[in-house]
């Protein structure tokens, strides 16, 4: 339980490095977690080789959802869009360094769902994207 | 008279549970669902052990006993809300289904495109979405009684809406977020003067207050057993007999018919007309036992106890820096305290409170538009019932200070 609020999570929640918007951007997508109303928007800049050159997130929600968004954004800058498409649940858990129950897992995975819906150009961030 | 809470708590086995070794549960989530006392659990066990059978039509002893228990519970529920007749109580799955039943039958038979339905800004999704669906299908018009900054209904605005010839006014008797007890009798009287039918969402009021449908003169009242010491899976819709009789049936199937031909049917009389298929029989027995249990304590006593607890809770919560409680003062609300805590998301508050065994709810509590109105995505909600104590309020307050420690 104390694990859930590890220093790294509290730190990224309180002082995120990548909170904000990119204007202009190449990809932008936002969605909610309907269970709790958490909201995440992600903006990406992608170069002609398909590499993510910059990214930001904005939104509101619990420490888990916001910290995992910040960590996720940090991890994808410099990666190719093709690699981003391959990210899954375990990658988020590795970033957070914790294990989560089913309810909090939804909080943690919101940013990845939004990111993947964005890069795939989908209208909705569905659960299947992060299974 | 004050309640003997110690002896009441002894009847709720779950309140003794340790959620982790040495950490006893502090259950502050009764607005979501109440805990169940021994007599309710026992009544359902007894049904399954001694007289489980399908109801109606059976002539054997078990079927007769099961049918009698099912119908006796209906009579108890009718008396509990002072309904003139037991046949005016329709068993449903819950409050949501009760409201949907009216939306799918009465409303579809009586509302035309452009007809006005008045709701309020503090409704639970269960009293919003059925009307959204109908609006999309039928083109009815929805208007909302506004909520004031202190969490009350704006009755002046309501009077203005009434001048637009409403056909239906459907509203909550007690907000599940703000705890606001609405002036139901006055709202209903004004609605009737304007020629409208009324539905009261009693999910939160029937478990906590003395609700008298004849005094209210309400046309429909929806409520759930599980929030009033009874089991999940069963609720009730009270409706005035003349309205229920004129309504088309809801679901089709067994029990709701008088006669079936290959190409037609004749519906049964009320209440059977609205109870298609094998119902929740054990749950009806539990529902009846829950009513007996609450009667043995007295709803006036329940309400007075909860008033004492919410008064104390508001006083203690408001002394914590960074805590903001939503809704009116204690004299205008039931035992519900929804709050925000600066800098910490409600999910995190709830998660850290759980470490101390404290069960609260976090989110928008199925009232998203109300949260939007107050400009907040979510709240943490502590709610109280007849078994709640001031010690539990103290545990909550200490828990919130622990949240502060984690978030620095």
Would you call A61 and B408 a contact, using CB atoms and an 8 Å cutoff? no
Position B71 pLDDT exceeds 50: yes
Chain B contact present for A63, CB below 8 A: yes
Which tokens go with B257?
């018919």
Task: Dihedral sign for Cα B37, B43, B44, B46, please.
Answer: positive
Chain A contact present for B372, CB below 8 A: no
CA of B404, closest CA in chain A: separation in Å? 12
Q: What is the pLDDT at residue A32?
A: 84
Q: B223: which strand partners? A: B236
Chain A contact present for B377, CB below 8 A: yes
Give how far Cα B193 sits from Cα of A79, A112, B197, B346, Å.
67, 54, 10, 43
Would you call B377 and A5 a contact, using CB atoms and an 8 Å cutoff? no
- Is B55 within 8 Å of B281 (Cβ atoms)? yes
Q: What is the pLDDT at residue A2?
A: 59
Domains along chain A with CATH numbers: 2-119 (3.90.1010.10)
pLDDT digits (tens, 9 = 90+) for A25-78: 999 999 887 766 788 999 999 999 999 999 999 999 899 999 999 999 999 999
User: What order of strands is seen across the sheet that includes strand B235-239?
Assistant: B89-92, B235-239, B220-224, B197-201, B166-172, B116-120, B141-145
Which residues are CB-neighbours of B273 under 8 A, at least 6 positions away? B244, B249, B256, B267
Give the number of other Cβ atoms within 10 Å of residue B209's Cβ: 19
pLDDT digits (tens, 9 = 90+) for A11-36: 999 999 999 999 999 999 998 877 66
pLDDT band at A128 (very low <50, low <70, confident <90, very high): confident
pLDDT band at B221 (very low <50, low <70, confident <90, very high): very high
Helix (H) or strand (E) holding A67: helix A63-76
pLDDT band at A99 (very low <50, low <70, confident <90, very high): confident
Would you call B377 and A61 a contact, using CB atoms and an 8 Å cutoff? yes
Q: What is the pLDDT at residue B287?
A: 98
Chain A contact present for B407, CB below 8 A: yes
Nearest by Cα to B170 from B113, B116, B211, B210: B116
For tokens 């409704």, name the residue. B123
pLDDT digits (tens, 9 = 90+) for B152-195: 999 999 999 999 999 999 999 999 999 999 999 999 999 999 99
Nearest by Cα to A97 from A36, A20, A9: A9
Q: B236: which strand partners? A: B91, B223
- Residue B352 CA neighbour count, 13 Å, CB half: 25
Distance between CA atoms of residues B128 and B145, nearest Å = 13
Q: B141: which strand partners? A: B116
Q: What is the mean pLDDT of residues A112-122?
A: 92
- Calculate the average pLDDT of chain B: 96
Distance between CA atoms of residues B36 and B283, nearest Å = 12
- Share above pLDDT 70 across residues of chain A, in percent, rounded to a whole number: 97
Position B57 pLDDT exceeds 80: no
- Calculate the average pLDDT of chain A: 90
Closest Cβ–Cβ partner in A5, A37, A104 for B377: A37
Would you call A38 and B408 a contact, using CB atoms and an 8 Å cutoff? no
pLDDT digits (tens, 9 = 90+) for B233-266: 999 999 999 999 999 999 999 889 888 899 999 9
Give the number of other Cβ atoms within 10 Å of residue B186's Cβ: 12
Distance between CA atoms of residues B182 and B190, nearest Å = 14
Which tokens go with B124?
């639970």
- DSSP designation for A97: T
Catalytic one of B129, B155, B366, B397? B366
Chain B partners within 8 Å of A2 (Cβ): 355
Which tokens go with A2?
């104390």
Determine the 3-state secondary structure of B222 from DSSP: strand
Distance between CA atoms of residues B387 and B165, nearest Å = 44
Task: Kindly report the pTM of this predicted structure.
Answer: 0.91
Q: Is B263 exposed, middle or buried (0-12, 13-18, 19+ CB in 10 A)?
A: exposed
Chain B contact present for A19, CB below 8 A: no
Nearest Cα residue in chain A from B361: A36
Q: What is the pLDDT at residue A100?
A: 84
pLDDT band at A1 (very low <50, low <70, confident <90, very high): very low
Interface test with A, best of B372, B377, B404, B407 (most A CBs within 10 A): B377
- DSSP designation for B182: P
CA of B347, closest CA in chain A: separation in Å? 6
- Is B299 within 8 Å of B209 (Cβ atoms)? yes
Nearest by Cα to B407 from A101, A93, A57, A4: A4
- Is A127 within 8 Å of A108 (Cβ atoms)? no
pLDDT digits (tens, 9 = 90+) for B302-344: 999 999 999 999 999 999 999 999 999 999 999 999 999 998 9
Chain B contact present for A8, CB below 8 A: no
Would you call A35 and B346 a contact, using CB atoms and an 8 Å cutoff? no
Closest Cβ–Cβ partner in B354, B355, B378 for A36: B378
Interface test with A, best of B346, B347, B360 (most A CBs within 10 A): B347
Chain A partners within 8 Å of B377 (Cβ): 36-39, 60-61
Position B151 pLDDT exceeds 70: yes
- DSSP designation for B13: G
Distance between CA atoms of residues B141 and B118, nearest Å = 8
Position B349 pLDDT exceeds 80: yes
Domains along chain B with CATH numbers: 5-30+299-407 (3.90.1150.10), 41-296 (3.40.640.10)
Chain B contact present for A108, CB below 8 A: no
Which segments within B295-386 are labelled E, that is strand?
Answer: 323-326, 336-341, 358-359, 361-363, 379-383
Position B206 pLDDT exceeds 60: yes
For tokens 């106890």, name the residue. B305
Q: What is the pLDDT at residue A35?
A: 67
Give the number of other Cβ atoms within 10 Å of residue A102's Cβ: 6
Q: What is the mean pLDDT of residues B355-376?
A: 91
Chain A contact present for B362, CB below 8 A: yes
Q: What is the mean pLDDT of residues A3-7?
A: 80
- DSSP designation for B366: T
Nearest by Cα to B334 from B129, B122, B66: B122
Give the residue ranges of DSSP H helices in B81-183: 95-102, 108-110, 129-138, 155-162
Chain A partners within 8 Å of B354 (Cβ): 1
Which value does ipTM take for this structure? 0.75
Tell me, yes or no, if B229 is annotated catalytic: no
CA of B26, closest CA in chain A: separation in Å? 18
Distance between CA atoms of residues A60 and A38, nearest Å = 6
């Amino acid at each position: 339980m104390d694990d859930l609020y590890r220093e790294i999570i509290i730190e990224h929640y309180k002082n995120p490095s990548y909170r904000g918007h990119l204007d202009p951007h190449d990809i932008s997508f936002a969605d909610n977690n309907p269970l709790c109303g958490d909201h995440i928007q992600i903006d990406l800049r992608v170069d002609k080789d398909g590499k993510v050159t910059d990214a930001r997130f904005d939104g509101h929600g619990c420490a888990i959802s916001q910290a995992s968004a910040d960590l996720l954004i940090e991890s994808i800058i410099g990666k190719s869009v093709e690699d981003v498409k391959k990210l899954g649940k375990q990658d988020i858990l590795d970033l957070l360094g914790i294990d989560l129950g089913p309810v909090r897992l939804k909080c943690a995975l919101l940013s990845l769902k939004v990111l993947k819906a964005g890069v795939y150009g989908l209208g909705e961030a569905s659960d299947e994207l992060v299974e | 008279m004050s309640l003997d809470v110690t002896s009441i708590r002894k009847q709720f086995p779950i309140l003794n549970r340790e959620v982790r070794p040495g950490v006893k549960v502090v259950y502050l989530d009764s607005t979501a669902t109440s805990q169940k006392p021994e007599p309710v659990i026992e009544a359902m066990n007894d049904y399954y052990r001694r007289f489980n059978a399908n109801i109606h039509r059976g002539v054997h002893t078990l079927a007769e006993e099961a049918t009698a228990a099912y119908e006796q519970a209906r009579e108890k529920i009718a008396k509990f809300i002072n309904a003139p007749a037991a046949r005016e109580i329709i068993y449903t799955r819950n409050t949501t289904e009760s409201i949907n039943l009216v939306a799918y039958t009465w409303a579809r038979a009586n509302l035309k495109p452009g007809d006005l339905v008045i709701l309020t800004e503090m409704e639970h999704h269960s009293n919003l979405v059925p009307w959204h669906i109908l609006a999309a299908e039928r083109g009815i018009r929805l208007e909302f009684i506004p909520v004031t900054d202190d969490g009350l209904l704006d009755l002046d605005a309501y009077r203005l809406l009434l001048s637009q010839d409403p056909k239906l006014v459907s509203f909550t008797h007690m907000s599940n977020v703000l705890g606001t007890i609405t002036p139901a009798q006055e709202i209903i009287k004004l609605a009737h003067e304007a020629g409208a039918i009324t539905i009261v969402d009693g999910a939160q009021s029937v478990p906590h207050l003395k609700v008298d449908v004849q005094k209210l003169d309400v046309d429909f009242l929806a409520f759930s057993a599980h929030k009033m010491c009874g089991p999940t899976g069963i609720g009730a819709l009270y409706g005035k007999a003349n309205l229920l009789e004129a309504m088309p049936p809801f679901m089709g199937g067994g029990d709701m018919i008088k006669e079936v031909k290959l190409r037609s049917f004749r519906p049964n009389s009320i209440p059977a007309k609205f109870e298609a298929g094998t119902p929740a029989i054990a749950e009806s027995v539990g529902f009846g036992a829950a009513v007996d249990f609450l009667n043995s304590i007295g709803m006036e006593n329940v309400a007075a106890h909860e008033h004492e607890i919410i008064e104390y809770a508001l006083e203690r919560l408001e002394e914590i820096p960074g805590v903001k409680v939503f809704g009116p003062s204690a004299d205008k609300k039931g035992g519900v305290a929804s709050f925000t805590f600066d800098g910490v998301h409600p999910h995190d508050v709830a998660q850290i409170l759980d470490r101390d065994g404290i069960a609260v709810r976090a989110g928008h509590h199925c009232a998203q538009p109300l949260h939007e109105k107050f400009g907040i995505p979510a709240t943490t909600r502590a709610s109280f019932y007849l078994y709640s104590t001031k010690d539990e309020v103290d545990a909550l307050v200490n828990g919130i200070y622990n949240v502060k420690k984690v978030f620095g």
